[in-house]
Amino acid sequence: MITYVSGTLAQKSPTEAVVDVQGLGYEVLIPTSSYEKLPAVGKPAKLLTHHHVREDAVTLFGFATDAERTLFRTLVSVSGVGPKLALAALSAMTPDALRDHILEGDASVLTRIPGVGKKTAERLVVELRDRLANMDGFEGATTVGGDGTASVRADARAALESLGFGRAEAEKRIRKALRDHDGAVTAEELIRLALR
């Protein structure tokens, strides 16, 4: 399995990149979220990859961040969602926005992704809501203040769960509190904001 490709960026477009690794060019399909993070052509680049093997094709999908790759792998685990559809989802919205819409059960927004109909959107919500709520350290979803963010968020979530909230509901309340409140907060402040 190929975990990442590191070398010189030989070509790039919004849907693919070619990374030259000591004279060997790897074509990597990418979402637009990764394209925006790529350096200029001719500069060093590293893409995390998902190596997809089918009966008729071997394809590398590349990602600028671990959150993108993790969400991609989570999406393709859903029945009826293939790698091209998962890539389209990551191209349509940022990983943290996609995660938030799934956690909030907002299937109507998910239908805006090319290739996602009402049934697929509902399946994404049903199958992924709890799994995504259990993912810690997700990109963009942990912006409290930068230092100790993951532990502040984890402490607040654990406290809300001990008060009787389910993990998904606790995560939803924490996200709302963080959106409504700018600046760094402690776990205690985050719990208080989430309980409002």
Q: How does DSSP assign 29-40, residue by residue?
A: E--HHHHTT---
pLDDT for res 189:
83
Residues 46 and 86 in one domain: no
pLDDT for res 63:
94
pLDDT for res 150:
64
DSSP 195: T
Give how many domains the chain has, as a whole number. Answer: 3
pLDDT for res 139:
44
pLDDT for res 75:
92
Look at residue 138 and tell me if it is in a domain. no
Residues 11 and 51 in one domain: yes
Helix (H) or strand (E) holding 85: helix 83-92
pLDDT for res 167:
76
60 strand-pairing partners: 51
Look at residue 90 and tell me if it is in a domain. yes
pLDDT for res 184:
59
Residue 111: closest CA among 122, 99, 95, 100? 122
Residues 116 and 157 in one domain: no
pLDDT for res 182:
67
Low-confidence residues of the chain: pLDDT under 50: 139-147
What is the 3-class SS of 100-142, one letter each residue? HHHHCCCHHHHCCCCCCCHHHHHHHHHHHHHHHHCCCCCCCCC
Residue 37 vs residues 34, 121, 165, 176: alpha-carbon distances, Å: 5, 27, 37, 27
Pairing of the two strands 24-29 and 44-53: unpaired
Residues 20 and 44 in one domain: yes
pLDDT for res 95:
83
Tell whether the torsion through CA atoms of 59, 61, 66 and 70 is positive or negative: negative
Residues 111 and 129 in one domain: yes
> Taking the complete model, does pTM exceed 0.85, yes or no?
no
Residues 53 and 74 in one domain: no
The CATH number of the domain where 10 resides is what?
2.40.50.140
Residues 153 and 108 in one domain: no
pLDDT for res 147:
44
- Residue 123's domain comprises 66-133
pLDDT for res 100:
80
Cβ-based neighbour number of residue 106 at 10 Å = 13
